[in-house]
């Protein structure tokens, strides 16, 4: 009975609309959508050239949480590839983040555990608009984004030159003033070096005015145009004048046999080299571990991931040194987690 209901639900969600509509953006004063059309599908070729490709990603996970405090482990990682060859090995930048709720604001301290990125112990006073739902426990995610931008600036300055490519996990858009400042320093550095900045989002919530996912719409258009088994990029999507969104938007299929296409953004001003840059990324997207997704991002995601096993080890070690006062604070909010372990 349950499976039959599941199958019926899936069938009901499988219908395609009579028309795709146009790309939809909630802040429509900054975006001029372009009509969806197979004319916007473009072929491009794989390229194993001389460009260095660098991918940057980060991860964080909670070690402890109380109603007023939290301790996170943060990692940020970058790599360097030229074709198949890894240019240099790096460790992940690792830091402990301690956050506390005081006087209506969140005070956080980032404590680096190594010097992979030239970042010293840093204190932050976070406003609620910097935090998801205004909660102190999300400070790890917020500060991690800031460190990712710092890492991108550093790697562009130290390891990349004209024509090289730096890929950020995620889009080229900021949401708060402090993140904007970190991003602007990264933008300035890639401009100075002639480096090409790309953002690739693993997921996309963009939809059309017909209420259909935008990426799914473009994939359907590609199939109808007999490009379903080819490599392609889709552009333009919209003319973007948003002051905090510096990306020229594309949807890209990086491997002919992949079931995925990804929202891909080029930092404004570098789009004249799009097809060659996409060719370099497509060269990386041939690994069967995730066919159609650049391997540099797979590697960065793996190295930056903060696993549950890792934080469980730190939690167990911390329990041996925990004061009764701090244990009382932790136990005031962890009963649900304790039950999940049974």
pLDDT > 60? residue 102: yes
pLDDT band at 52 (very low <50, low <70, confident <90, very high): very high
- Preceding peptide of 228 cis, ω within 30°: no
The phi-psi region of residue 309 (left if phi > 0; otherwise alpha if psi is between -120 and 50; otherwise beta) is alpha
What is the CB neighbour count within 10 angstroms for residue 285?
A: 26
Distance CA 56, CA 165 (A): 11
Long-range interactions of 103-111: CB distance < 8 A, separation 24+: 106/131, 106/136, 106/139, 108/139, 108/143, 110/74, 110/143, 110/147
pLDDT > 90? residue 7: no
Bridge-based pairing state of the strands 53-65 and 165-169: parallel
Residue 14, pLDDT score: 79
Residue 166, pLDDT score: 97
User: What is the crossing angle of helices 139-159 and 177-193, to 10°?
Assistant: 10
117 vs 84, more confident:
117
> Tens of pLDDT along 174-191?
989 999 999 999 999 999
Task: Spell out the SS3 assignment of 44-98.
Answer: CCCCCCCCCEEEEEEEEEEEEECCCEEEEEEEEEEEEEECCEEEECCCCEEEEEE
pLDDT band at 77 (very low <50, low <70, confident <90, very high): very high
Report the pLDDT averaged over residues 91-95. 97
Report the pLDDT averaged over residues 90-101. 94
pLDDT band at 30 (very low <50, low <70, confident <90, very high): very high
Report the pLDDT averaged over residues 313-337. 79
Q: Quote the percentage of the chain above a pLDDT of 90.
A: 70
Residue 134, pLDDT score: 61
Residue ranges of domains in the chain: 39-309
> Tens of pLDDT along 242-253?
999 999 999 999
pLDDT band at 266 (very low <50, low <70, confident <90, very high): very high
CATH fit for domain 39-309, picks 3.10.620, 3.30.40, 3.30.2170, 3.10.20 = 3.30.2170
Residue 120, pLDDT score: 93
pLDDT > 70? residue 135: no
CA dihedral 294, 295, 298, 303 (to 10 degrees): -140
Which segment of 45-49, 202-206, 318-322 scores lowest on mean pLDDT? 318-322
pLDDT > 60? residue 339: no
Q: What is the CA radius of gyration of the chain?
A: 22
> Tens of pLDDT along 214-258?
999 999 999 988 887 889 999 999 999 999 999 999 999 999 999
Residue 323, pLDDT score: 82
pLDDT > 70? residue 327: yes
279: nearest Cα among 37, 56, 83: 83
pLDDT > 90? residue 43: yes
Kindly tell me the sign of the dihedral angle through the C-alpha atoms of 334, 340, 341, 342. positive
Report the pLDDT averaged over residues 198-203. 96
Report the pLDDT averaged over residues 57-63. 95
Residue with tokens 């009963």: 335
Work out the burial of residue 100: count CB atoms within 10 Å of its CB; fewer than 13 is exposed, 13-18 middle, 19 or more buried.
middle
pLDDT band at 336 (very low <50, low <70, confident <90, very high): low
Kindly tell me the sign of the dihedral angle through the C-alpha atoms of 305, 306, 307, 309. positive
Residue 335, pLDDT score: 59
What is the tally of helices (H) and strands (E) in the chain?
9, 16
- Per-position DSSP letters for 97-112, written without gaps between them: EEEEEETTEEEEEEEE
* SS3 at position 323: coil
pLDDT band at 322 (very low <50, low <70, confident <90, very high): confident
């Amino acid at each position: 009975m349950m499976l039959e209901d599941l199958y019926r639900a899936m069938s009901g969600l499988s219908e395609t609309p009579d028309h795709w509509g146009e790309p939809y953006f909630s802040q429509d004063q900054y975006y001029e959508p372009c009509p969806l059309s197979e004319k916007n599908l473009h072929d491009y070729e794989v390229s194993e050239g001389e460009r260095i490709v660098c991918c940057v990603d980060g991860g964080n996970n909670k070690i402890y949480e109380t109603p007023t405090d939290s301790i996170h482990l943060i990692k940020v990682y970058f790599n360097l590839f030229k074709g198949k060859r890894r240019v240099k090995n790096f460790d992940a930048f690792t830091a402990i983040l301690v956050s506390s709720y005081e006087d209506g604001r969140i005070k956080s301290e980032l404590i680096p555990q190594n010097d992979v990125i030239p970042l010293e112990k840093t204190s932050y006073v976070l406003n609620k608009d910097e935090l998801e739902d205004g909660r102190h426990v999300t400070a790890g995610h917020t500060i991690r984004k800031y460190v990712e931008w710092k890492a991108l600036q550093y790697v562009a300055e130290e390891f990349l030159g004209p024509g090289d490519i730096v890929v950020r996990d995620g889009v080229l858009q900021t949401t708060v003033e402090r993140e904007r400042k970190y991003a602007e320093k990264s933008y300035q550095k890639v401009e100075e070096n002639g480096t090409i900045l790309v953002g690739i989002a693993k997921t996309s919530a963009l939809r059309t005015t017909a209420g259909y996912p935008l990426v799914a719409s473009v994939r359907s258009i590609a199939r109808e145009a007999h490009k379903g088994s080819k490599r392609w990029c889709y552009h333009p999507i919209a003319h973007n004048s948003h002051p905090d969104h510096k990306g020229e938007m594309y949807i890209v299929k990086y491997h002919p046999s992949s079931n995925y296409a990804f929202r891909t953004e080029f930092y404004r001003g570098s789009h004249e080299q799009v097809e060659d840059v996409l060719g370099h990324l497509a060269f990386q997207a041939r690994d069967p571990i995730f066919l159609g997704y650049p391997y540099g991002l797979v590697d960065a995601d793996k190295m930056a991931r903060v696993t549950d096993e890792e934080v469980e080890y730190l939690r167990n070690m911390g329990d041996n040194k925990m004061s009764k006062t701090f244990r009382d604070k932790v136990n005031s909010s962890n009963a649900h987690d304790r039950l999940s372990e049974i």
